[in-house]
Structure formats: C-alpha cells, structure tokens
Amino acid sequence: MADTDTKPMRESAIEPPPGHHEVPMPERPIETNRVRQGVTFGHMRWVLLASLVLVVLGLILARVVS
C-alpha cells in the first residue's frame, strides 16, 4: 500500500487486486449463443438506421433554422 501514496487517485483505483487472474480454458469449445447469452434481432438494425436518419435530419434542421 505504500506505493499507492505516490500514484494519483485515478491510477490506483483501476489496478486489479493482487492475486491470480487467469481464467481456465474450457475442455471443449462453447457454442456462440451460449457464450453471448443473448439473441441478435434483425429489427434492431432498422431501429438504428431510423435513429441515425432522425439525428441527421435534426442536425440539418437545426443548421437551417439557426
């Protein structure tokens, strides 16, 4: 703990605790869906595209109005 006095607070806060930090590898490969623990939906692309278009239109409108 003596060396933490010389380091800035933000640097000492992000250091991992001492000890062993390696994760053991599984014996066989794990399926992608199991590792991801989620589902990718196709409609999320459309939501992202619509949001992007609305942001661009909003910026253009703000530029024209001001």
What are the φ/ψ torsions at residue 53 (nearest 5 degrees)? -65, -40
Q: Which amino acid is at 28?
A: R
**pLDDT, tens digit, 9 for 90 and up, residues 36-49:** 666 667 788 889 99
**pLDDT, tens digit, 9 for 90 and up, residues 46-62:** 899 999 999 999 999 99
In sequence order, the 6+-apart residues with CB closer than 8 A to the CB of 39 are 33
Look up the pTM and report it.
0.42
* CA 57 to chain CA mean position, Å: 27
- pLDDT for 7 equals 64
- pLDDT for 39 equals 63
**22 to 2, 3, 12, 19, 30: CA distances (angstroms):** 26, 24, 21, 10, 18
